[in-house]
């Protein structure tokens, strides 16, 4: 394994502190880091909230550094919510966000989800571009926790029921 090779794998409990730090660092870099609050409680129990619930959570490492992450949180049998997609600011613009997104979409299909829903803030222009170029459709906007938020969804190819 080379020093610069990116390794994608499922979250493990030993990743908890690094995942929290990545979340806070990435949020601060884009200007959406507020005081800690209950809206971040999912990151304090990733194994339970994402994996044990029937979803998944993926991390990417370059060497020993956690550089990107993201989760799938089940809403119901057909729909998963994409959450906590973060890329370390020092590793942005290298395709890690797109690769995490692709990995999570593949896992969603394997888990049997038909739709992915997500939200991102208006100020996260890079995230909007990522989701829109990956086929996500903008559905609505509203204010959430003091931020203007865009809600997206995507039908996962190959997951539709044939109707004749």
Query: pLDDT digits over 39-97, tens only?
Result: 678 999 999 999 999 999 999 999 889 999 999 999 999 999 999 999 999 998 889 99
CATH number, domain of 63, equals: 3.40.630.30
Mean pLDDT of the chain: 89
Q: What average pLDDT score do residues 3-10 get?
A: 88
Residue 34 lies in a domain: yes
Sign of CA dihedral 89, 90, 91, 94: positive
pLDDT at 34: 59
CA distance 72 to 132: 18
* Number of domains composing the chain: 1
Cα angle 64, 14, 40; round to 5: 105
| Residue 162 lies inside a defined structural domain of this protein | no
Instruction: Describe the crossing of helices 125-133 and 96-110 by its angle, rounded to 10 degrees.
Output: 50
pLDDT score for 164: 36
The answer to whether 123 and 32 are in contact (CB under 8 A) is yes
Task: Specify if 108 maps to a domain.
Answer: yes
Contact 52, 83 (CB under 8 A): no
Q: Does 146 map to a domain?
A: no
For residue 146, the model assigns a pLDDT of 80
What are 38's two structure tokens?
A: 């209950």
The domain in which residue 11 lies consists of 6-117
Instruction: For residue 7, report the phi and psi dihedrals to the nearest 5 degrees.
Output: -110, 125
Q: Is residue 147 in some structural domain?
A: no
Write down the pLDDT at residue 158: 60
Residue 161 lies in a domain: no
**Residue 160 forms part of a structural domain:** no
pLDDT of residue 163: 40
pLDDT tens, 109-157? 999 999 999 999 998 898 999 999 999 999 999 998 788 999 999 999 6
Q: Is residue 3 predicted with pLDDT exceeding 80?
A: no
Predicted confidence at residue 28, as pLDDT, reads 83
Does residue 35 form part of some domain? Answer: yes
The pLDDT, as a whole number, for residue 37 is 60
| pLDDT given at position 2 | 55
């Amino acid at each position: 394994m080379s020093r610069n090779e990116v390794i994608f794998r499922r979250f493990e409990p030993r990743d908890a502190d690094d995942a929290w730090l990545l979340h806070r660092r990435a949020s601060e870099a884009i200007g959406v880091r507020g005081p800690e609050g209950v809206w971040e409680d999912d990151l304090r129990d990733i194994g339970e909230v994402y994996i044990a619930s029937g979803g998944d959570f993926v991390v990417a490492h370059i060497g020993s550094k956690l550089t990107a992450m993201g989760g799938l949180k089940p809403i119901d049998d057909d729909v998963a919510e994409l959450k906590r997609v973060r890329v370390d600011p020092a590793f942005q613009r290298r395709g890690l966000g797109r690769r995490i997104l692709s990995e999570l979409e593949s896992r969603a299909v394997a888990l049997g989800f038909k739709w992915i829903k997500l939200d991102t803030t208006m100020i996260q222009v890079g995230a909007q571009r990522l989701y829109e170029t990956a086929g996500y459709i903008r559905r609505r906007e509203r204010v959430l926790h003091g931020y203007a938020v865009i809600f997206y969804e995507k039908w996962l190819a190959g997951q539709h029921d044939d109707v004749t």
